[in-house]
Structure 1
Amino acid sequence: MSALVSRKAQKGNELEFSEIASRVTLGVVVVAVSTSAVAPASTATVSREALSAVAPASTATVSHEKRNIKFTSRRLKGGSIECASENPGLAISLTRDIAKSLENRASRASVVLYDRTTHTSCTYRADKHYDSASTVKPIILGALLLDRGVHLSEDEQDLARQMIVSSDNDATYALWDSVGPENIQNFLDEAGMKNTILDEAGFMGLTQVTARDQAKLLELLTGKDNSVLNAEERTYLLGLMRDVQKDQRWGTPAGAPSDAAVQVKNGWLQRSQNRLKDPWDRGDWKVNSMSAVTGHAYDYGLVVLTENNRVPEDELPEVGWDYGTDTVEGVAKAIHHDLRTHPATGRPGLL
């Protein structure tokens, strides 16, 4: 089965979703990227006027150093890519290559990367809100585990597997209703995901997430802190993300090292099928992807959220979906390559 055919087969159960993003602070190991105007760090929303503002596509990389951490930044279409690392060359490479991967894309995007092994982070528009689509599903399972522990009933285990591994929406709503919004909000509070906003009408895929908050979730799941979920609970959730079915392992896993364990969850939706005249809502696709890469010398997480993946007139809907997927995978391939092959990372690679 071709990649296009397998991707088309996934889309049917996601069309009721939308996307926007929220924000949280990840410490020294974070990356966020987007192709439109960036919101100030102190705000959680971005105006339409700000999003339409366009700065020069990119400018020269600016660098400085503080306490043995190299900081680099580069302007990109109204935003700023910022990377920090103990490895100066790696910070420069990531900033440059993230900019290259996005500078010719029409998608709006946000990206967050953290890497514990190299003490590296990059951010670009980490705090912009997107509709979550199916990237909310690990949050729902996290809330279930926080409320009931890892010893779930057979029915709950079956629903959890369907929700994460095959992204089944009926199973998701069954768990959403069972856990309840109060317990889901409690999990978000405990996890420090302060800028993730549940949809008041109860549409799980319209949960507002940010790349920074989603990366914070990955850090929680792959870390050693037992204050929210214990080791057994984290292992259970990551195991399901590692088992995500093959035709849904696109996006941030693209270009990941072959000897690593890759835990992934993607989300996709078409905001409107009515081709509204509002330029903000013209039937574009929202395509999101998040992965935790672990094992051997790897311990990093990557989140890429996108929107504005337009469907041109007289084109099939999957054109916008494919465009968003290509945007995500372009960013992912650049980041995986730099983390795997850059000198002094201590990882096997093709130098």
Structure 2
Amino acid sequence: MASHPSPTIRTARTARIAAGTLAASVAALLPLGPLTPTPASAATPPAHGRVTAAVLDLDGAGRAPEIHGTDTAYDTASIVKVDILAALLLKAQDAGRRLTAEERGHAEPMIRRSDNAAANALWREIGRAPGLAEANKRLGLTSTTGGPGTKWGLTRTTAGDQIRLLRAVFDDGGTAKAGATGLNQASRAYLRSLMSQVTPEQAWGVSAPAASGSASALKNGWLQRSTSGLWDVNSIGEVTVRGHRYLVAVLSDGSASMRDGVSLVERTARAALA
């Protein structure tokens, strides 16, 4: 599992990683390191997976997201890394300090490259699931449950809750309170910056509906479940489409391959923003 416009990606590299590092990571049920998917356009027809999308037009009048599908819980895979960093930033804010050099040394590769060792370190630092839950109360999340023990990738969440998290990061007038309760301006800017600098091979997912060259900020996640062999593939972020800024969360599971999952997520994101 791991985690962003879609780049040209080599299928051979996908197969090599999926056969090697992926197997070891999935066995531990922890998010995978950087895995490069084949673009959706080149993928085989997707298997029948379950998918839910939530969309909020930040430049529109409404403040409630549109939900496409059933807003039920899914495994987060590596999209939880945004939530982990938000919890860390709240912890630093409470102490009246900025992140240390060591914390930034974990935070930046965790978001930009979806580095799992970095996520392991910060998951421990925030206090694992209880620390995530405490932060999420402040950020306005109501339907997210941290993964057991060290398995942060098995955190469960809904598309609607991911929009609440994205509002705490991208919407200055969002539901999360600023200052001592929510993320302050500096924390939001830091998260936005990292999500807009993900490595090119991970720039698929909710960015699919955006025109080439349009700004986007996102985080993706994927995980092959050892019990079924099926894939969880997720994508969250902010995209600009037809001059409007949208927060988008697409969560899926049950795909026969990662390529099928990426295709399902991107087709769903396009349909939700059509």
* 1:156 matched to 2:103: yes
* 1:131 matched to 2:78: no
Contact 2:30 2:151 in 1 (8 A): no
Larger CA Rg, structure 1 vs 2? 1
* 1:2 matched to 2:39: no
How far has the Cα of 1:170 moved from its partner?
A: 0.5
* 1:205 matched to 2:153: yes
1:334-349 correspondence runs (5 A):
334-336=271-273, 338=274
- Opposite residue 305 of structure 1, the aligned amino acid is L
Match of 1:322 among 246, 251, 259: 259
- Opposite residue 72 of structure 2, the aligned amino acid is K
Provide the secondary structure at the position in 1 that maps to 2:248: strand
* 1:224 matched to 2:172: yes
Match of 1:307 in 2: 253
Output the TM-score relative to the length of structure 2.
Answer: 0.78
Unmatched segments (≥5 aa) in structure 2: 1-7, 32-45
Match of 1:90 in 2: none
In structure 2, distance between residues paired with 1:246 and 1:219? 24
Identity rate, percent: 33
Match of 2:39 in 1: none
Match of 1:292 among 221, 238, 244: 238
In structure 1, distance between residues paired with 2:207 and 2:132? 27
Unmatched segments (≥5 aa) in structure 1: 20-103, 273-280, 311-319, 339-351
In structure 2, distance between residues paired with 1:112 and 1:247? 24
Match of 1:332 in 2: 269
> Is 247-256 or 133-142 further displaced after alignment?
247-256
How far has the Cα of 1:308 moved from its partner?
A: 1.1
Contact 1:260 1:296 in 2 (8 A): no
Deviations 1:55-90 (A, max 9, x none): xxxxxxxxxxxxxxxxxxxxxxxxxxxxxxxxxxxx
How far has the Cα of 1:245 moved from its partner?
A: 0.3
Match of 1:118 in 2: 60
How far has the Cα of 1:180 moved from its partner?
A: 1.0
Match of 2:223 in 1: 269
How far has the Cα of 1:127 moved from its partner?
A: 2.7
Match of 1:239 among 193, 213, 228: 193
Provide the secondary structure at the position in 2 that maps to 1:217: helix
In structure 1, distance between residues paired with 2:110 and 2:171? 23
* 1:169 matched to 2:169: no
- Opposite residue 126 of structure 2, the aligned amino acid is V
Relative to 1, partners in 2 of residues 1:139 and 1:108: Cα closer, same or farther, differing over 3 Å? same
Match of 1:193 in 2: 141
Deviations 1:33-75 (A, max 9, x none): xxxxxxxxxxxxxxxxxxxxxxxxxxxxxxxxxxxxxxxxxxx
How far has the Cα of 1:131 moved from its partner?
A: 1.1
Relative to 1, partners in 2 of residues 1:230 and 1:265: Cα closer, same or farther, differing over 3 Å? same
Provide the secondary structure at the position in 1 that maps to 2:253: strand
Match of 2:205 in 1: 251
> Is 134-143 or 172-181 further displaced after alignment?
172-181
In structure 2, distance between residues paired with 1:262 and 1:5? 27
In structure 2, distance between residues paired with 1:7 and 1:264? 21
Provide the secondary structure at the position in 1 that maps to 2:123: helix
Relative to 1, partners in 2 of residues 1:110 and 1:139: Cα closer, same or farther, differing over 3 Å? same
In structure 2, distance between residues paired with 1:323 and 1:256? 20
Provide the secondary structure at the position in 2 that maps to 1:305: strand
Match of 1:106 among 18, 25, 48: 48
RMSD: 2.5
